[in-house]
Amino acid sequence: MDVAHPTAPTAEAPAALKFPTGAIVNIAADVDNGFKNAITLNAGIGPYSGKELFMFVAWFVSWPVLHFALRKRDLKLKRWFGVFLAGTLVAVLLMWPPIFGAIAAAIKGG
């Protein structure tokens, strides 16, 4: 089965990778005002423009990279699908403002 659908995990991994990237950028923007200003690519949209760009670039770049790196490997679909689900859950939690706000405050305080 894994050989029959070898690139299914490489399709899902970039999607899972996009989310933590977004969470990290989000927290970094909360911690550092300079970074927040640097990722403000559009004055109307604000820092969200840079956060969104980081997330989509991480996703679109990692997809072909992982595709070519892993396409001939016999991946265990069940295991990597579990990693994808766990990564997605963690990313959703890290996007919840009370959580990423508390992490950013802890970093600033530290």
Among 34, 44, 109, 110, binds another protein (CB under 8 A): 44
Q: Are 23 and 88 in contact (CB under 8 A)?
A: no
Contacting range for another protein; rule: CB under 8 A; set: 31-39, 50-58, 102-110? 50-58
- 98 makes contact with another protein (CB under 8 A): yes
Alpha-carbon distances, residue 11 vs 36, 42, 109 (angstroms): 30, 30, 38
Footprint (CB under 8 A) of another protein, residues 6-35: 7-9, 11-12, 14-15, 18-19, 22, 26
- Give 35-85 as a DSSP string: HHHHT--BTTTBTHHHHHHHHHHHHHHHHHHHHHHHTTS---HHHHHHHHH
**In the complex, what is the shortest distance from the CB of residue 76 to another protein, in angstroms, rounded to a whole number?**
9
Summarize as ranges the residues that interact with another protein (CB under 8 A). 1, 4-5, 7-9, 11-12, 14-15, 18-19, 22, 26, 44-46, 48-49, 51-52, 55, 59, 77-78, 81, 85, 88, 91-92, 95-98, 101
